[in-house]
Amino acid sequence: MRLNIIGLNHRTAPIKIREKVTIPEDELAKANRIFHETAGGDESMLLSTCNRVETFVVGPTEEEAREATLDFLEDYSRPGIEGLDRYIYSLHGEAAMEHLFKVASGLDSMVMGESQITGQLKIAHAVAQEEGTVGMDLNQLMSYALFTAKKIRTDTRISELPVSVSSVAVELARKIFEDLTRRKVLLIGAGKMSRLAARGFLSSGIDQLSIINRTYENAVRMSEELGGTA
């Protein structure tokens, strides 16, 4: 299988770059169609989270897949992005397969063993299937990757406790302050990770939650959903 994985993640790109190329879940189907046409490969798929954006392409050479990914991300990203190529990594063949297995299992995450990425991969694959951009090769590879992720979580202690960046933040606050019931929490940002952190803090019985975000309406939406002040 001529598999290429091209992307950027928390190790290669700062958050100001990652947030400009992140593809919202409600745009993923459209983005899959556009990228598939851009890449010109036999099969393709997009994975987009707050910590990584990766393209999976079967068919083209590694250089062709890289150029197609750069063209797509530069066209699709938010304005103001420059020099994207210096944040990009390219993986081909066995190295690409090994990377996918690590991603699916939470071994390539910002917090080792976090399980959210497995669900995000399932969603990415399901969207690509619905759009008809994947076929036998990527379907089989995703099946193996998800099976491996499940086996690792079953046979090892990697996910003994629920782990994510947000849960680590809540746990650290508990260790520092012990009792959170009289504490006031200010969350900066109203994205997915902030929402998960907010739920964790609220379940710990905090006294007050405030949410600040550059788009005020998003802070209001989150505060109405979970409780708190924008």
- DSSP letter (8 states) at residue 230: -
Closest CA to 21 of 8, 32, 11: 8
206 and 184 Cβ atoms separated by less than 8 Å:
yes
Instruction: Confirm whether 222 is a catalytic residue.
Output: no
Backbone angles phi, psi at 187, to 5 degrees: -100, 130
Residue type, 64: E
Residue type, 135: G
d(Cα 228, Cα 211) in Å, to the nearest integer?
A: 7
Q: Distance from CA of residue 143 to its chain's centroid? A: 19
Query: DSSP for 126-146?
Result: HHHHHHT---HHHHHHHHHHH
Close Cβ partners of 145 (under 8 Å, ≥ 6 residues apart): 100, 101, 103, 104, 121
Q: Which of 5, 8, 39, 50 is catalytic?
A: 50
Structure tokens at 142: 């995703």
Closest CA to 171 of 193, 195, 204: 204
Backbone angles phi, psi at 28, to 5 degrees: -65, -40
Closest CA to 202 of 222, 224, 181, 174: 181
Among all residues, which ones are annotated catalytic? 50
